[in-house]
Amino acid sequence: MEIKTSTKQWIEFNLRKIPFVTWDRFTAVSLGKGIGVFGWIEREKDSYKDFAYVEFDLEKHIIPFFISSSAKYSKQIGEILVKGKLEYNICLRVEDNFKIKNSVKLTLIAHKRDK
């Protein structure tokens, strides 16, 4: 994927503003007009990590969307990236809302830890 140098610098500038996220991968979004970048946030209470995802519009140089599974950092990410102009989405647990076997079961881990 070709990204102009000035656009790449703008993305790097924004990703560096969030040092508590370890950025991992990106992919093309919006029919190639943007990229979505994924990263990980260390959690204090268990060995899992929270995720962060930020979309960058490559043409308009705006951040149209971001989300994080971190209750601790979601609002802070929005303040850093878009000065609170975008309402952050609350990330809900699959294990609490869908009856599937292939989901992360934090309730079991917390129950074992608390015993």
Q: Distance from first CA to last CA of the chain, Å, rounded?
A: 50
Q: Helix H segments across 17-97?
A: 74-82, 94-97
Which tens digits make up the pLDDT trace of 96-109?
999 999 998 876 55
pLDDT at 113 over 50: no
Q: Does residue 108 form part of some domain?
A: no
Q: Does residue 18 form part of some domain?
A: yes
Q: Does residue 25 form part of some domain?
A: yes
Place of tokens 């790449």: 8
Q: What is the pLDDT of residue 115?
A: 43
CA distance 84 to 9: 22
Range of the domain at 16: 5-89
Q: Does residue 105 form part of some domain?
A: no
Number of folded domains in the chain? 1
Q: Does residue 68 form part of some domain?
A: yes
pTM: 0.81
The tokens for 90 are: 């609350």
Q: Does residue 17 form part of some domain?
A: yes
